[in-house]
Amino acid sequence: MTSLTNKQGRDNGLRDIRQLTARELQALGVSQLAYIKSVTVDGEAVFSIHAADGTQMALTGDREVALAAVRQHEMIPALVH
């Protein structure tokens, strides 16, 4: 892990993003971002809400409800086609 330093040479708690591991990159945004995509379940078109790591969190029959649910949980929605 490469830490960045301030002008006095002290570790400022920041990290060089180029030095993140694949696992660390995967974890970025997990708690802040949710993906919404249209899927078919039992022959019916619905909207699936997924965490940034791909974990399915919910299904809803309405796109606007999916967007509202994500925002209600203080997350950022991202539509996936």
Same domain, 64 and 76: yes
Same domain, 47 and 24: no
Q: Cα–Cα distance between 46 and 35 in angstroms, integer?
A: 14
Q: Give the pLDDT of residue 53.
A: 81
Q: Check whether residue 10 and residue 45 sit in a common domain.
A: no
- The answer to whether residues 23 and 45 belong to one domain is no
Q: Where in the sequence is the domain holding 51, given as residue range(s)?
A: 31-81
Instruction: Please give the tally of structural domains in the chain.
Output: 2
CB 66 within 8 A of CB 35: no
pLDDT tens digit sequence for 22-76: 777 667 767 788 999 999 999 999 999 998 888 999 999 999 999 999 999 999 8
- 3-state SS assignment for residue 67: helix
- Shared domain for 73 and 45, answered yes or no, is yes
**Same domain, yes or no: 41 and 52:** yes
38 and 66 part of one domain: yes
Q: What's the pTM?
A: 0.65
Beta-sheet strands, E only, within 22-80: 33-41, 44-51, 56-60, 76-80
pLDDT digits (tens, 9 = 90+) for 4-14: 444 555 655 67
Residue 76: CB atoms within 10 Å: 12
